[in-house]
């Protein structure tokens, strides 16, 4: 995970619970710097600590500012999140596109930030005017209102996903190793022999197709050596050996 990470800035947050939930979402995805602009109920907040699941104590100390201009003064690239179209000429990104752009800046040792507005009305135009770009979350156009922490979580996830190397698919076989081809062929030959002995292949015409279908079932499964031994035991039990 990169050492340079975007800062999350909450402008005019109204409820401590939402600040705490936003901090929890941030820390879920490796972000650890939270700045607040003019929090309605002040800071620190007991309600935030109730909702943060211990995230705030693991993060950098929260910094509080009077204005957004002060909060982003030391940043090089800032993205404003908003669902409403604005009469401004600014690049508009999806969360994924914004994460890519943020990484471009952080890779050049630039400090970046993502700005979120108040729960009731979001960011005002004057605050958006301070930012370099806009991020809009694709959603139901008839219902585009996000909870503050949900919006933070989506943006934080997309940032982490840009830097995550987790494979798209894994299969944990524990101590058992994938079966070798010769062991698979040994079992399939035995299975086909026993099926043939018991009249499973009713006609010669369908025998090749049915054999391929059976083979594909087991090849597709990617069975392990332990599973091969278990299947041999199943066949032995069925034929009475």
Counting the structural domains of the chain, the total is 2
Please tell me the total number of residues recorded for the chain in this structure. Answer: 241
The reply to whether 69 and 188 lie within a common domain is no
Q: Give yes or no for a contact between 115 and 11, defined as CB atoms under 8 angstroms apart.
A: yes
Mean pLDDT confidence for 185-191: 92
Decide: 71 and 37 in contact? Cβ < 8 Å.
yes
The boundaries of the domain holding residue 232 are 181-239
Q: How is residue 83 annotated by DSSP?
A: S
In a domain, 175, yes or no: no
Average pLDDT over residues 171-192: 86
User: In this structure, is residue 152 part of a structural domain?
Assistant: yes
- Residue 26 near residue 156 (C-beta atoms within 8 A): yes
Query: In this predicted structure, what is the pLDDT of residue 117?
Result: 94
CA proximity to 31, closest of 106, 133, 83:
106
SS3 3: coil
Pick from 163, 192, 212: which residue ends a domain?
Answer: 163
CATH of the domain at 66: 3.40.1280.10
**How high is the pLDDT of residue 165?**
80
Mean pLDDT taken over the chain:
91
Identify whether residues 26 and 115 lie together within a single domain.
Answer: yes
Q: Does residue 176 lie in a domain region?
A: no
Whether residue 156 is found in the same domain as residue 195: no
Distance CA 114, CA 106 (A): 13
Closest CA to 26 of 152, 137, 148: 152
Residue 174 in any domain: the answer is: no
Of 122, 137, 163, the domain-final residue: 163
Given pLDDT bands bounded at 50, 70 and 90, which one contains residue 88? Answer: confident
Instruction: Note the pLDDT tens digit of each residue in 108-157.
Output: 999 999 999 998 888 999 999 999 999 999 989 888 888 999 999 999 99
* pLDDT at 204 exceeding the cut of 90: no
Average pLDDT over residues 3-19: 93
Would 108 be classed as within a structural domain? yes
């Amino acid at each position: 995970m990169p050492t340079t990470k975007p800062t999350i800035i909450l402008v005019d947050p109204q409820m401590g619970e939402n600040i705490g939930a936003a901090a929890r979402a941030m820390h879920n995805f490796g972000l650890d710097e939270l700045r607040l602009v003019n929090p309605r109920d002040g800071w620190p907040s007991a309600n935030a600590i109730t909702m943060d699941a211990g995230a705030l104590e693991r993060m950098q100390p929260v910094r509080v500012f009077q204005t957004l201009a002060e909060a982003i003064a030391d940043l090089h690239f800032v993205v404003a999140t908003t669902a409403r179209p604005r009469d401004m000429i600014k690049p508009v990104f999806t969360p994924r596109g914004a994460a890519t752009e943020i990484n471009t800046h952080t890779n050049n040792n630039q400090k970046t930030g993502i700005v979120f507005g108040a729960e009731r009305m979001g960011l005002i135009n004057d605050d958006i005017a301070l930012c370099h770009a806009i991020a809009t979350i694709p959603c139901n156009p008839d219902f585009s209102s996000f909870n503050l922490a949900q919006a933070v979580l989506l943006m934080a996830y997309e940032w982490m996903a840009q830097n995550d190397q987790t494979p798209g698919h894994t299969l944990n076989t524990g101590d058992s190793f994938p079966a070798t081809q010769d062991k698979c062929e040994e079992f399939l030959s035995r299975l086909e022999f026993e099926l043939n002995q018991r009249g499973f292949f009713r006609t010669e015409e369908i025998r090749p197709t049915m054999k391929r279908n059976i083979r594909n079932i087991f090849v597709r499964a990617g069975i392990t050596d332990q599973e091969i031994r278990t299947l041999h035991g199943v066949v032995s039990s069925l034929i009475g050996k």
